[in-house]
Amino acid sequence: MTDVAERVADLAAIRAEFRPADGITYLDTATYGLPPLATVGALQRATLAWQAGTADWMSEWDAPTDQAPRDFATLIGAPRDTIATIPASSVGTGLVAGMLVPGDEVVVPADEFTSTLFPLLVAKERGAIVREVPFGDLASSITASTRLVAASLVQMQTGRVADMSAIVEAAERHGSQILIDATQGVPFVPLEAVIDRIDYLVCSGYKHLLSPRGTAYLYVRRDRWHELEPRNANWRSADQPYARYFGGPLTLAADARRFDVSRGWFAWLGATASLERLTAWKEAGAFEAVRGLAKSLADRLGVPWYGGSLVCAPLADGESARRALEAAGVRASVRGTAIRFAVHVYNTPSDLDRAAEAVGPFMDEGRTRP
């Protein structure tokens, strides 16, 4: 048995926690992840209690969700007091962009995802300088004039992983701050070695964190708590959120919880269940197995693998490839003349076989290598 097969074998028990439809090979987690049974159960129980009017909102729906940011901290190797809960990554990015003043320079990839880029372009309209550079040139583009470098940890359209070691070294050398959108990277791209050198990080939960949409996380390094303005301050970001609902004075939490946004209960109950499973799977070493699957798929397709769970390939005929994948029951993202597969714990080697067989005839062989 190969090393990859041995790692994949460890995922068998985990796969039993999922119920994809018969005949479906789901390789589209970069669009939305599938929930484990525990998550579905949490949502069903909450819905029934809502229907019956029997739930206690505080003890059953709100307070239990405090565990989700703690588990997210475990996934990225950060202290628990550095994580805030927000409804979408762009909310956190907007907070960081809001601190930019006229003349501040931001370095960002030229083809960055709009939820990261647009808040920065709003700051540009106020006078900030946004300098767009190639993704691979981020570190070398940071200069003494750079206030902030902002980028995705993993490019959603290519699967390329940012060179975080080089970026943090360049930022520290020039006194620049770092904002990372880790939505397409966590939990498969390890951050423990650099997280304490990153200033801000955002991550949406509905993709690789297998959570309902409407859940996201904001990491704020301890030395930035009082530099970043808590513009979304609300009852949930208070030092004692259940103690007072009316009147002043302003009494925000002393840590990153000051950036919390009031939580949509059901979505966060689902996220709490999913994060509990993900942290257990991390401890069991399951994510190394997923990376092994992703590398195996890249090898079968003859395309680069960059270290995460995304595998992207060029297509000679995107529309024909889309139809072939649909006929084979393979769910993936076809965008024009490229395809993106995203592997997770519920995938198997046979899933890779089916995907490679379906898309193989439509690969653009002239562009398969970097």
Q: 101-130 pLDDT, tens per residue?
A: 999 999 999 999 999 999 999 999 999 999
Q: Are strands 338-342 and 333-335 parallel, antiparallel or unpaired?
A: antiparallel
Q: Are strands 330-331 and 25-26 parallel, antiparallel or unpaired?
A: parallel
Q: What is the pTM of this model?
A: 0.95
For residues 271 and 62, what is the distance between their CA atoms, to the nearest angstrom? 12
Q: What CATH number should be reported for the domain whose range is 3-36+285-367? A: 3.90.1150.10
Are 182 and 64 in contact by the 8 Å Cβ rule? The answer is no
**Residue 318, number of CB atoms within 10 A of its CB:** 17
Paired with 342 in beta bridges are 28, 310
Are 315 and 338 in contact by the 8 Å Cβ rule? The answer is yes
Who's near 360: CB < 8 A, 6+ residues apart? 301
Tokens 């689902």 found at: 270
| pLDDT computed for residue 286 by the predictor | 95
For residues 330 and 341, what is the distance between their CA atoms, to the nearest angstrom? 10
According to CATH, the topology of domain 57-280 is Aspartate Aminotransferase; domain 2 (3.40.640)
| pLDDT computed for residue 365 by the predictor | 72
For residues 33 and 273, what is the distance between their CA atoms, to the nearest angstrom? 14
Tokens 């060029």 found at: 314
Taking only the tens place, the pLDDT of each residue in 6-63 is 666 678 889 999 999 999 999 999 999 999 999 999 999 999 999 999 999 999 999 9
DSSP helix/strand/coil, 164? helix
Are 217 and 72 in contact by the 8 Å Cβ rule? The answer is yes
**Residue 237, number of CB atoms within 10 A of its CB:** 21
Phi, psi for residue 240 in degrees, rounded to 5 = -130, 85
DSSP string, 199-225: SEEEEESSSTT---TT-EEEEE-GGGT
**Residue 134, number of CB atoms within 10 A of its CB:** 11
Banded pLDDT at 337 (limits 50, 70, 90): confident
Who's near 60: CB < 8 A, 6+ residues apart? 46, 49
Give how far the C-alpha of residue 18 lies from the chain's centroid of Cα atoms, to the nearest Å.
20
For residues 145 and 175, what is the distance between their CA atoms, to the nearest angstrom? 9
Give how far the C-alpha of residue 231 lies from the chain's centroid of Cα atoms, to the nearest Å.
23
Banded pLDDT at 1 (limits 50, 70, 90): very low
Taking only the tens place, the pLDDT of each residue in 158-216 is 999 999 999 999 999 999 999 999 999 999 999 999 999 999 999 999 999 999 999 99
Paired with 203 in beta bridges are 217
For the chain, give every domain's residue range.
Answer: 3-36+285-367, 57-280
Q: How many CA atoms lie within 13 A of 89 on its CB side?
A: 23
For 12, the token pair is 């068998």
